[in-house]
Amino acid sequence: MKPARGFTLIEVVIAASLLAVGLALVFASIRGAMRATERAEIQAQREERLRAVQGFMRAQITAAMPIAYQFNPETGEANFFALSSTKLEFVSNMPGYLSRGGPYLQTLELVPGEGGQRLVFQHQMLSTEGPLPAEREPVVLFEGIAEASFDARTIDEASSASPWQSRWNTSAQLPPMVRLRLRFADGSRRWPEFVAAPRLAVAVAAPLDAIADGR
């Protein structure tokens, strides 16, 4: 009867090497799956935040009210709504969980930040003497913005939409439409087109030459 033959050292080394390679492949697959899951979660969080911010902005701008927050001391003209390429100011109610009720001057502004621009939001309670000091620090809605611009659009006397304008300071009027164009520095982040229409805007706004002159 022949004695049982055991494994040689070379066979043991080869088996251990194959096992190590197999485990490395398994761990690599697990790490790849974990990274893909993390990326998917980050992307989902970004998309959810984007939807939430756009929904909040649309609700606030749509509900903009024709209430003066500033008066020209020389002419007595009232400002209801002001827009430039980098800043938007208007009066609207705030959600109850973020305020004490009543109209607030609300500001959306593009400011410099690390890695690009930031979109920040601030609200100030409106009193009979004007906006009160802000109770909270401005909130950063987005950062890492490569380029962005606010625009307004009016309707002429023939009920035709005008070109988009990067300025609105027409006294005592709300623009019929407001737009925010935005592009993130990160090419994988997409900004859906954002347009909001204040409900209390006049049906026919000032003609374009009046907007250009600030009348």
Query: Would you state the pLDDT for residue 195?
Result: 95
Q: Is the pLDDT of residue 40 over 70?
A: no
Query: Would you state the pLDDT for residue 139?
Result: 93
pLDDT band of residue 2 (cuts 50, 70, 90) is low
Closest CA to 194 of 60, 77, 103, 66: 60
Dihedral angle of Cα 182, 215, 199, 159, to the nearest 10 degrees: -90
The model carries a pTM of 0.75
pLDDT band of residue 188 (cuts 50, 70, 90) is confident
Query: Would you state the pLDDT for residue 164?
Result: 93
Over residues 155-183, the pLDDT tens digits come to 777 777 888 999 998 888 899 999 999 99
**What is the mean pLDDT of the segment spanning 86-102?**
84
Quick check: 145 and 107 in contact, CB under 8 A? no
Query: Would you state the pLDDT for residue 1?
Result: 54
Locate 181 and state its tokens. Answer: 């164009």
**What is the mean pLDDT of the segment spanning 78-104?**
87
Lowest mean pLDDT among 110-114, 198-202, 208-212: 208-212
Q: Which residues lie across from 119 on neighbouring strands? A: 110, 142
What average pLDDT does the structure give for the chain?
A: 84
Query: Would you state the pLDDT for residue 204?
Result: 45
Tell me whether residue 191 is exposed, middle or buried, using C-beta atoms within 10 angstroms of its C-beta: 0 to 12, 13 to 18, 19 or more: middle
Question: How much of the chain is in helix, strand and coil states, percent to nearest 5?
Answer: 30, 30, 40
Query: Would you state the pLDDT for residue 151?
Result: 96
Q: Is the pLDDT of residue 29 over 90?
A: no
Q: Is the pLDDT of residue 69 over 70?
A: yes
Closest CA to 61 of 200, 162, 159: 200
Residues above pLDDT 90, as percent of the chain: 43
Over residues 96-153, the pLDDT tens digits come to 766 677 899 999 999 998 889 999 999 999 888 888 998 889 999 999 999 999 999 8
Domain boundaries, the chain: 46-213
Which run of H or E residues covers position 183?
Answer: strand 177-184
Question: Between 114 and 206, where is the model more confident?
Answer: 114
